[in-house]
């Protein structure tokens, strides 16, 4: 296969871009990064939570174009089945797909109240009630998976697509000092310390500030 190209948006603000990038890293494919300017209207719509359809990240390889994070995950699982993107056990794969889908289509209150902003830190941030419900559901998912599959990742000793889908949430919890239970906090620490996550964070911290709208304290 030829070298792929992954189109992404802001590394500081782009939660979906982070997910696509982590999946490509996990799959072990060679890829070039192509950044979409935040002056592009569709990119700004995504980052400002105004668009229901995310056209980044977008993976192009061998004349195939794959967008939407779940589609990218399934494609990479097909071409790199040994990379661990999805669990090998059928029941675990179904469970993994279910919680990935829940993240993909849900938790709109959390997205609105706690937008991803890696460079920022808001100590003692007060989450409004709707976001708290999403936070409680997410941490319940984490505790269930960590208890069932023994951690330190959601489906066992190695990260998979589920961890990728919830990685931006870990970033949000750190940015806004979200109080969570010790098990969930330990999981967040594991995700944030992963080498791929650390690579992304380092790049995000040197990214120019281009979207002043997203620097508003909610």
Instruction: Note whether residue 97 is domain-resident.
Output: yes
Q: Are residues 110 and 184 in the same domain?
A: yes
Q: What is the predicted pLDDT for the residue at 152?
A: 98
Claim to verify: residue 71 and residue 96 sit in the same structural domain: no
- Indicate if 67 and 160 belong to the same structural domain: no
| Residue 21 domain flag | yes
114 and 54, same structural domain? no
* Structural domain for 18, as ranges: 4-83
Q: Is 211 a domain residue?
A: no
**Does residue 36 belong to any structural domain of this protein?**
yes
Return d(Cα 80, Cα 8) in angstroms, integer. Answer: 21
Residues 119, 186: one domain?
Answer: yes
Does 41 map to a domain? yes
Rounded distance between C-alpha atoms, residue 69 and residue 16, angstroms: 7
| 95 and 124 co-located in one domain | yes
The verdict on 71 and 164 lying in the same domain is no
Q: What is the pLDDT of residue 2?
A: 82
Measured CA to CA, the distance from residue 207 to residue 116 in angstroms comes to 14
Q: Are residues 143 and 191 in the same domain?
A: yes
Q: What is the pTM of this model?
A: 0.90
Residue 105: band (very low, low, confident or very high) from pLDDT cuts 50, 70, 90: very high
Same domain, yes or no, for 22 and 66? yes
Same-domain pairing of 12 and 45 = yes
Q: What is the pLDDT of residue 43?
A: 57
**Statement to judge: residues 106 and 195 lie in one domain:** yes
Task: Write out pLDDT tens, residues 12-64.
Answer: 998 999 999 999 999 999 999 998 866 665 555 555 554 445 578 999 999 89
Overall number of domains in the chain:
2
Burial class (CB in 10 A: 0-12, 13-18, 19+), 170: buried
Name 6's bridge partners: 33, 59
């Amino acid at each position: 296969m030829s070298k792929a190209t992954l189109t992404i948006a802001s590394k500081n603000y782009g939660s979906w871009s982070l997910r696509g990038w982590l999946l490509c890293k996990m799959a072990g494919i060679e890829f070039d990064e192509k950044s979409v300017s935040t002056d592009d209207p569709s990119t700004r719509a995504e980052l400002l939570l105004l668009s229901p359809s995310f056209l980044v990240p977008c993976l192009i390889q061998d004349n195939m174009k794959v967008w939407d994070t779940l589609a990218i995950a399934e494609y990479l699982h097909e071409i790199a089945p040994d990379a661990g993107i999805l669990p090998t056990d059928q029941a675990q794969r179904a469970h993994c797909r279910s919680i990935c889908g829940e993240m993909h289509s849900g938790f709109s209150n959390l997205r609105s109240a706690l937008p991803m902003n890696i460079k920022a830190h808001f100590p003692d941030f007060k989450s409004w009630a709707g976001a708290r419900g999403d936070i409680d559901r997410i941490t319940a998912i984490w505790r269930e998976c960590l208890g069932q599959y023994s951690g330190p990742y959601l489906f066992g000793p190695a990260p998979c697509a589920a961890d990728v889908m919830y990685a931006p949430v870990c970033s949000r919890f750190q940015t806004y000092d979200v109080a969570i239970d010790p098990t969930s906090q330990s999981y967040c620490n594991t995700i944030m310390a992963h080498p791929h996550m650390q690579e992304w964070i380092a790049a995000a911290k040197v990214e120019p500030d281009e979207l002043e709208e997203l620097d508003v304290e909610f």
